[in-house]
Structure 1
Amino acid sequence: MSTKDIVLIALFAALTAALGLIPQITLPMGVPITAQSMGVMLAGAVLGAKRGSLAIVLFLLLVAAGLPLLSGGRGGAGVFFGASGGFLLGFPIGAFVIGWLFDRHHGRPPFGLALLYAVIGGVGVVYLLGVPWLAQVAGLTLGKALAGSMAFLPGDAIKAVLAAIIAREVKKSIPSL
């Protein structure tokens, strides 16, 4: 791995942490709506599968080590065992999937595909891990956990649109990424 790769991985881990400074909205089931999932989408879309997922793994390692980097100043290993733990574990896989899909187009898919890829990885993959985890931790049926998670879809859709726009513009401006 080159110095450039290490710097970009650290930069996107920091970007994901910085997105946690945007105030969260916590739903009654205890799962917060945050801007940090957009960091996942951007890391995968801009850095590609390997570097994007490593950026999110670095971010999560820092959270696990106790740094209060999650929205609302949360951190520590305990957050991985709460209601949002499955979503957090889905973050690096989602970033990898987005990056892998973007890489099929040399990092610059048409906007419609960029948006679809952000939704597939940043919403689909993350929910695939997060919803069953939420159901287990909260003692809900899978259907109820999924229905409760639907409240996040409008915000996730907005984050996916922004990530697709930003990623395409960054890749156009800095093609060497």
Structure 2
Amino acid sequence: MTMTESTGATSTGTPATRRFTTTDLALVAAFAALIGAAAYVGAIPVGGAGVPITLQTFAVMLAGCLLGPARGFAAVALYLALGAVGLPIFAGHAGGLAPFTSISAGYLFSFPIAAALGGFLVKYVAGPRWKTSALAVFACSFAGSVLVVHPMGILGMMLHQDVSLATAASWDTPFWIGDLLKTTLVALIAAEVHRAFPQLLHRR
């Protein structure tokens, strides 16, 4: 993922690109900070694997659904990079590279992809007509969870603990109710923000 995007052609016929503006960078940084803050809320270990429940998924999907695929991906990638260099912004006040090899590593790796998918669906599938519909945003955000977060989280637990798919899936089950609630909150907030700021998503 680069921080440029095609915006047409120049006078010489070559594609023009537009880099992230100062506003874009500020939004990326703000949402990276929001994700870090969300990791501190809850952090309650559940299930047989002891992976904690936090509000990270809420902040990750909100970033994608509000900022779109490029900026949403960048915000989550920045959050992961800051955590990787040692800032204690992961669940349980953890930082460094250890969380990327832990039982919850699959969930961490899924976050930027899920944000990009949710942002893509809101921007290009829901589009200008439906991005202000909480139901449409819910479907887009939930797709990121169902298609990316849960499968990658389950795969990570399988590999880390050397257990069967069924066992890892059972460890993942407690997260579904929380995800439904968090996705509902994402949908309600994102739909209202897009109604108030219709150009926010389509800046990038």
TM-score, structure 2 as length reference: 0.83
Report how far residue 174 of structure 1 moved: 1.9
1:30-62 Cα distance to aligned partner (Å, 9 max, x none): 311110111111000000000001000000000
Runs of 4+ aligned residues of structure 1 deviating over 6 Å after TM superposition are: none
Residue of structure 2 aligned with 1:24, choices 23, 31, 43: 43
* Cross-structure match for 2:195: 172
* 1:131-142 equivalences in 2 (<5 Å): 131-142=154-165
Report how far residue 67 of structure 1 moved: 0.6
Higher strand share: 2
In structure 2, C-alpha distance between the alignment counterparts of 1:71 and 1:81, rounded to whole Å: 14
In structure 2, C-alpha distance between the alignment counterparts of 1:23 and 1:74, rounded to whole Å: 14
Q: Count residues with an aligned counterpart.
A: 177
* Cross-structure match for 2:118: 98
Higher helix share: 1
Q: Which runs of 5+ in 2 are unaligned?
A: 1-19
In structure 1, C-alpha distance between the alignment counterparts of 2:68 and 2:166, rounded to whole Å: 33
1:71-122 Cα distance to aligned partner (Å, 9 max, x none): 2201111101001101100000000000000002137152222111111113
In structure 2, C-alpha distance between the alignment counterparts of 1:157 and 1:2, rounded to whole Å: 34
**Which structure ranks higher in relative contact order (CA pairs < 8 Å, sequence separation ≥ 6)?**
1
Percentage of matched positions with identical amino acids: 37
* 1:104-123 equivalences in 2 (<5 Å): 104=124, 105-106=127-128, 108=131, 110-123=133-146
Q: Which amino acid aligns with 1:129?
A: M
In structure 1, C-alpha distance between the alignment counterparts of 2:95 and 2:172, rounded to whole Å: 22
* Cross-structure match for 2:99: 79
Q: Is the 8 A contact 1:102 1:109 kept in 2?
A: no
* Cross-structure match for 2:182: 159
Is 1:57 aligned to 2:80, yes or no? no
In structure 2, C-alpha distance between the alignment counterparts of 1:17 and 1:143, rounded to whole Å: 31
In structure 2, C-alpha distance between the alignment counterparts of 1:122 and 1:56, rounded to whole Å: 15
From the CA coordinates, give the structure whose radius of gyration is larger. 2
**Matched position secondary structure for 1:72:** helix
Q: Which runs of 5+ in 1 are unaligned?
A: none
* Cross-structure match for 2:24: 5
RMSD of the alignment, in Å? 1.3
**Matched position secondary structure for 1:50:** helix
Q: Is the 8 A contact 1:23 1:72 kept in 2?
A: no
Distance 1:151 1:19, change over 3 A: same
Residue of structure 1 aligned with 2:87, choices 56, 62, 67: 67
Q: Is the 8 A contact 1:16 1:36 kept in 2?
A: yes
In structure 2, C-alpha distance between the alignment counterparts of 1:175 and 1:24, rounded to whole Å: 34
Report how far residue 124 of structure 1 moved: 2.8
In structure 2, C-alpha distance between the alignment counterparts of 1:109 and 1:143, rounded to whole Å: 38
